Amino acid sequence: MGKLTFSMGGVHPHDSKFARECAIEELPLPPTVYVSMAQHLGAPAKPVVAVGDTVKVGQVIAEPGGFISAFVHSPASGTVKSIAPRKDLAGNPVMHVEIAVEGDEWDPAIDRTKTLVTAIPEDKAVILDRIKAGGVVGLGGATFPTHVKLSPPPGKVAECLIINGTECEPYLTSDYRIMLERPKEIVVGAAIMQKVLGGCPCVIGIEENKPEAIRTMGAAIAELGYPGIEVKVLKKRYPQGGEKQLIDAVMKRQVRSGGLPIDVGAVVQNAGTALAVYEAVQKNKPLITNVLTVTGDHIPGNLQHNYLFRIGAPLSFIMEQAGGIPQTADKLVSGGPMMGKAISNPDATTVKGSSAILYLSEASTRRQATTSCIRCGKCADACPMGLEPFLLYRLYKAADLDALEKQAAQDCIECGCCLYSCPAHIPLLDHIRQAKGQVMGVIRARAAAAKAAAEAAKK
């Protein structure tokens, strides 16, 4: 079987999958959960409960705040104690619903049995309604509402559904574990999305460093017998799991600057999203749980875990259940070491897209002294988007937004390959991330002005 990969850039960090042999454990419920209203891409959800209300597990507590938004459900049963801003990972105030946990009473409409349901509803509208009602979002990082992504705009046709099972970030093993432990549910979820998209071929892409997952998923496909679904083996190469890189690897098509995957006939969904789709459509279970890896470097094996957690559980509670923060930990990171975010607030809570808590030692996080750029071009060679990070860095320092836009700073996927490869240890990603934000602000303002002008012209 040939191994596929994307056409430009990329790096090869050590995968450090220390928790790969740790089976998924179900975390106990914390005394209190804090459910964020902004745990998906798009408009924050709007609370539909009030302080003092009693809620059950799986009950809707917030509705979408716009077209690109998602329902939010209670991950626990108990009493709503407050609806107020609370600091997130970065310390920014975000609206949360606080629920005092009182038992574990589930909505009776949720099927909690482990019986596999393979018969897929015939009506595509029914499927999409269930996915939307379940609050399912992409679990590969972007948390884009899944029902929107599965509804291509007029004139666009899905030619391939790609299920991302690469988990290319070092340390992370939650997707790997669900592919080992719940492969059939993932395949049924993929078949459900395949049906919604009109029956296009479906490829489940898995990196070569996960042979057990490749075999397990292949066996599940063979046993279930859904047509048009296959596993393809990808080379171990970061960022193989990037949406545009996966499309390049699997379909040999490139998404143009400013374009969307559907422009080249692709729809990409994460393996965890496929599992969430299965649960929403076949079990009527909303997205209230996910799997998270607790791991790091220079820590003992008994502190490494893959946890099934309830969304809204405080990170501090999870770390306490995992055995506490090891003394060797110099930095806490939410997500992977390449694209994750430093945890400045350990009392922040998990959200739908939470994937890992990393304990990183001082040796692995210490930044080397920065020296002058020698124009070696290694950052450009490593960039999977074909950008020139050294040039974007210079333009950002010069505050030249027009040139930054022309050089496509907005196309940066913030993978960190430039920073990883720079021999001068220049914090390229930090600067380019700032540049990207500024350019995107200009682009949004221009689009808003054009829309306002068009509406004024109609009057």
Q: What is the pTM of this model?
A: 0.95
Q: Is the pLDDT of residue 285 over 80?
A: yes
Enumerate the domain spans of the chain: 1-24+110-366, 378-458
In angstroms, the CA 81 to CA 75 distance is 14
Is the domain defined by 1-24+110-366 classed in CATH 3.30.70.2740? no
Place of tokens 């919604």: 196
Give the pLDDT confidence of 400-448 residue by residue, as tens digits. 999 999 999 999 999 999 999 999 999 999 999 999 999 999 999 998 9
pLDDT in tens, 171-190: 999 999 999 999 999 999 99
Q: pLDDT digits over 344-392, tens only?
A: 899 999 999 999 999 999 888 888 899 999 999 999 999 999 999 999 9
Considering just the CA atoms, what is the radius of gyration of the chain in Å? Answer: 22
Q: How far apart are CA 449 and CA 401, in angstroms?
A: 18
Number of H helices, E strands in the chain: 14, 17
Mean pLDDT of 390-402: 96
For residues 427 and 393, the answer to whether their CB atoms sit within 8 Å is no
